Amino acid sequence: MPFKFNADGTIAIDGEKKLPIFIHPNGTEAPFDADTTLGTITRLNGEAKTHREAKEAAEQRLKSFDGIEDGVAALAALNTVKSLSSGELKTAAQVKEIQDAAAKTAQEQVAAQAKASATQLQELTAQLDKRTNELNTHMIGGGFASSKLLTDDKHPSRLAIPTEMAKAYFGSHFKVEDGKMVPYDAAGNKIFSPTRPGEVADFDEGLAQLVAACPFKDQILKGSGASGGGAHGGNGGGAGAKQISRAQFEAMGVQDRAAAMKGGVTVAG
């Protein structure tokens, strides 16, 4: 559970900053500043847009070479026309010499420009991909951090697993498209809202449907399995079922937690 709650069930508020208190996976507590998080998302959006525009400009410059199959011949012809239009009619040998020199220079310049543009395009593409991945990761992580399925004890589909584990297992089912998070099922199809026909599900609607389709949903829904005050470590709750304490579970790495849940382990408390 990412937010700290008071004994009466309300979210604990930091006394100095007047912000809700967020509990990190390592157990440390810190005020959660939604405005700062939104500002970070806005900044990353701006950086992604800047890199995308620079990439498009580089691609546009490369288009100036479209339609010229033989750049050397084209430049040589232009040079000949210039010589004739200036009234300095050259002999065939002189024109050929000028053509060769101009062609060599033009060829070198075109090759250098094409190489520089290709390199710049590659760098801009890498930077844009990096910024896009950072933005997507930040937005999806924020979706899990604020999800009612992970923060609201009264939610009917409340999960009994930490936020980081839920993100590690279900995070790959969310993609950021046009600035919005879109959930996908295991078959790669978009998940649609059960209450808004024809519209894509919002984050919590998508997560709820992913949990419902999860093969071990009974182990991750709060209050399911053998968890509770009367549960004990070791085997319990049913034939072959295993149960561990909350402390043992939180001491595991994310991959170990996922493997444990797949194996039918339940968490006490």
Long-range CB contacts for residues 163-168, cutoff 8 Å, separation at least 24: 163/1, 163/2, 163/25, 164/25, 164/254, 165/254, 165/257, 165/258, 165/261, 166/207, 166/220, 167/140, 167/141, 168/254, 168/255, 168/257, 168/258
Number of domains making up the chain: 2
Same domain, 40 and 102: yes
Claim to verify: residue 76 and residue 115 sit in the same structural domain: yes
Q: How far apart are the first and last CA of the chain?
A: 12
Q: Give the residue from 125, 144, 163 where a domain finishes.
A: 144
Tell me: pLDDT of 84 over 70. no
Which amino acid is located at 34 in the chain? A
Q: What is the pLDDT of residue 85?
A: 56
pLDDT at 266 (0 to 100): 74
| 133 and 210 co-located in one domain | no
Residue 1 in domain: no
Residue-wise pLDDT for 246-263, tens only, equals 767 776 777 777 777 777
Q: Which domain holds residue 110?
A: 36-144
Assigned domain for 129 exists: yes
Which pTM does this prediction carry? 0.43
Shared-domain flag, residues 109 and 162: no
Q: Residues 237, 253: one domain?
A: yes
Q: What pLDDT sits at residue 88?
A: 55
Residues 152 and 258 in one domain: yes
- 237 pLDDT above the threshold of 90: no
pLDDT in tens, 8-44: 888 888 878 788 887 877 878 888 777 888 788 888 8
